[in-house]
Amino acid sequence: MENLKKELLEAQVGKVLENEPLANHTTMKIGGPADLLIIPKDVDAVKHIMDEVKKHRADWTVIGRGSNLLVLDKGIRGVVLKLGAGLDHLVINDQEITVGGGYSVVRLATSLSKQGLSGLEFAAGIPGSIGGAVYMNAGAHGSDISRILVKARILFEDGSIEWLTNEEMKFSYRTSVLQKERPGIVLEAVFQLKQDDREKITKKMQQNKDYRKETQPYNRPCAGSIFRNPLPEYAGQLVEKANLKGYQIGGARISDMHGNFIVNAGGATAQDVLDLIQYIQTKIKEDYNVDMHTEVEIIGEASE
Ligand SMILES: Cc1cc2nc3c(=O)[nH]c(=O)nc-3n(C[C@H](O)[C@H](O)[C@H](O)COP(=O)(O)OP(=O)(O)OC[C@H]3O[C@@H](n4cnc5c(N)ncnc54)[C@H](O)[C@@H]3O)c2cc1C
């Protein structure tokens, strides 16, 4: 790890932080340290980091804005690449948008609405990066990333870079090919939008945001929906029916506003959240015989 760090520092790949608490990089404000957290300065830097990671046989993880993550208390070994500034280019060519993997989804939705470009209204309140949104096939209000993505440029573990088409991304409910089948890093994405009335788009986005504020603990430290909806059931409704809203373990609490949100009510550890997740899974299985699977990505090492 020392040699890897030295080489990456010398190569000036971006900001390199050692033993960086990931609680500083997740919306839950939870997570132990990364051995090395790197914010790459551009696409070439990402490629260089991955070449070095391969050479040193180090572990690697990519994160965006940490809005769908539960990072465990002992943190993450190896290199964590955080895509943000440096991979936040945006090119608007008529109705086709090319955008960097580190670009903020909310920022993109807002700037496209101002140009009268429709298609990303659903994402107005999704606090992730483009890379995280493509990986998750993020969605809301009956739409998702798969509806607008033309192709995504992916850096794979073997160092190759490929454009994957919408079909090759194998999108379905909150999943893509990147999750298990073909791990890689979303460097950039191309979206196809439609020209429409600016006021109509901004009104729709405002409605979506207002709905969130009314129904979700939007400004509390959380990671969005904890569970995938076990369709046709909705995770939040099952939790509410089981009378679990407001239930708390340590500093982790099931939101009083929405049954599918766990908030860090103050000083929560990842273990508190894990225990609460397991408690909910057991209770819902007992009461309704439904298996609840997490939507939030659980990564890193747990404390013993
Ligand atoms: C208040 C709140 C509301 C939310 N509402 C919604 C919602 O309505 N709909 C919805 O779908 N989600 C929602 N989320 C969850 C979250 O915002 C999305 O899943 C988002 O797409 C995650 O992006 P991120 O950049 O934060 O990814 P992270 O949380 O940083 O990472 C999530 C996963 O994506 C992977 N990843 C991140 N960047 C890349 C990349 N460049 N290349 C490859 N893989 C990458 C990571 O390895 C990880 O496995 C909400 C979250 C919060 C806190």
Which of the residues 20, 52, 104, 174 is marked catalytic?
174
Which of 63, 161, 213 has most ligand 1 atoms within 8 Å of its beta carbon, as the pocket-test mutant? 63
Please work out whether the CB of residue 222 comes within 6 Å of at least one atom of ligand 1: yes
pLDDT given at position 303: 84
pLDDT at 63 over 80: yes
Structure tokens at 24: 């500083």
196 alpha-carbon distance from chain centroid: 28
Please work out whether the CB of residue 129 comes within 6 Å of at least one atom of ligand 1: yes
Ligand 1 centroid to Cα of residue 284, in Å, is 25
Q: What is the mean pLDDT of residues 90-110?
A: 97
pLDDT at 1 over 90: no
Q: What is the mean pLDDT of residues 105-133?
A: 96
> What is the Cα–Cα distance from 53 to 189, expressed in whole angstroms?
24
Nearest C-alpha neighbor of 120 from the set 101, 147, 98: 147
Is 295 an annotated catalytic residue?
Answer: yes
pLDDT digits (tens, 9 = 90+) for 128-151: 999 999 999 999 999 999 999 999
Q: What is the mean pLDDT of residues 1-24?
A: 94
Q: Residue with the nearest Cα to atom 34 of ligand 1?
A: 132
pLDDT given at position 304: 72
Q: How confident is the model at residue 236 (pLDDT cuts 50, 70, 90)?
A: very high
Share of the chain above pLDDT 90, in %: 98
Is 111 an annotated catalytic residue?
Answer: no
Is 10 an annotated catalytic residue?
Answer: no
Please work out whether the CB of residue 156 comes within 6 Å of at least one atom of ligand 1: no
Please work out whether the CB of residue 104 comes within 6 Å of at least one atom of ligand 1: no
Ligand 1 centroid to Cα of residue 296, in Å, is 8
Q: What is the mean pLDDT of residues 209-228?
A: 94
Asked whether 139 and 179 are in contact (CB, 8 A), the reply is no
> What is the Cα–Cα distance from 234 to 91, expressed in whole angstroms?
38
pLDDT digits (tens, 9 = 90+) for 143-187: 999 999 999 999 999 999 999 999 999 999 999 999 999 999 999
Which of the residues 65, 225, 253, 255 is marked catalytic?
225
Please work out whether the CB of residue 67 comes within 6 Å of at least one atom of ligand 1: yes
Structure tokens at 203: 């009104």
Residue type, position 180, single letter: K
pLDDT at 83 over 90: yes
Q: Residue with the nearest Cα to atom 41 of ligand 1?
A: 131
pLDDT given at position 287: 96
Ligand 1 centroid to Cα of residue 278, in Å, is 22
DSSP string, 245-283: TT-EETTEEE-SS-TT-EEE-SS--HHHHHHHHHHHHHH
Asked whether 9 and 16 are in contact (CB, 8 A), the reply is yes
